[in-house]
Amino acid sequence: MNSGPSQDALFYALCLILPLSALVARRLPIRQVAKMAIAWIAIFALALLLATQRHRVAAAWSSLHEAVFGTNSRVSGRTMRIPMAEDGHFWADVSINGATRRMLIDSGATTTAISASTAAAAGIAVDERGFPEVISTANGAIAALPGVAAQVTIGGITARDLPVIVSPAFGDTNVLGMNFLSQLKAWRVEGRDLVLIPVAG
């Protein structure tokens, strides 16, 4: 059963009230209580921000790490054009380690996301004992595990060692995200075509 916004708010309020009530019960000077209360509120707010925006924080950290230390992933190939589908999105046949799947190209997705069946077909191993990444989708928050695709090919463009996230909750949907697009020399929409230009294009 999914909890509603009011239930979530009540839970968070109780989590905050408990340490604050403990401070009041100690009968400390009001100024000291106020300082400690502000500190607890700040800690709680930071923890709540990290919990609700974990995927964005992880993406920002990944981008910073790549900027400082570089990345093993690389994209090369020839420029290609992808026509817009009838649903208004851009879809393309993509080969992941030799397994071909029709994928949605989504600039709103931080990381390339694939289904568990696609990962299995592509031979991508994930650490099921690892801590899952919680991401927000149109259907709510879901847990996904990280993996790496040795080779992702779309048309004449190939990305190597591309990080992906894997979850059974994706169903049959596979998404090529910004961690692929951001490594291109350029990408843009021209009329009803999506143009992908690799660094070596």
Percent of the chain with pLDDT over 90: 39
Residue from 58, 87, 76, 97 nearest 180 by CA: 76
CB 130 within 8 A of CB 145: yes
Q: Could you tell me which residues come within 8 angstroms of residue 31 by beta carbon, excluding any fewer than 6 positions away?
A: none
**pTM attached to this predicted model:** 0.60
The Cα–Cα gap between 201 and 198 comes to 5
CA distance 126 to 144: 10
Whole-number pLDDT of residue 1: 42
pLDDT of residue 7: 54
Segment 80-89 shows an average pLDDT of 92
182 has a pLDDT exceeding 60: yes
pLDDT on residue 71: 47
Can you name the residues that pair with 82 across neighbouring β-strands? 194
Residue pLDDT, tens place only, 184-193: 999 999 999 9
The per-residue pLDDT for range 109-166, each reduced to its tens digit, is: 888 999 999 999 999 988 676 667 777 666 667 788 889 999 999 988 999 999 999 9
Lowest mean pLDDT among 8-12, 136-140, 168-172: 8-12
In the numeric block, which tokens belong to residue 53?
A: 């925006």
Query: Which of the four pLDDT bands, split at 50, 70 and 90, describes residue 3?
Result: very low
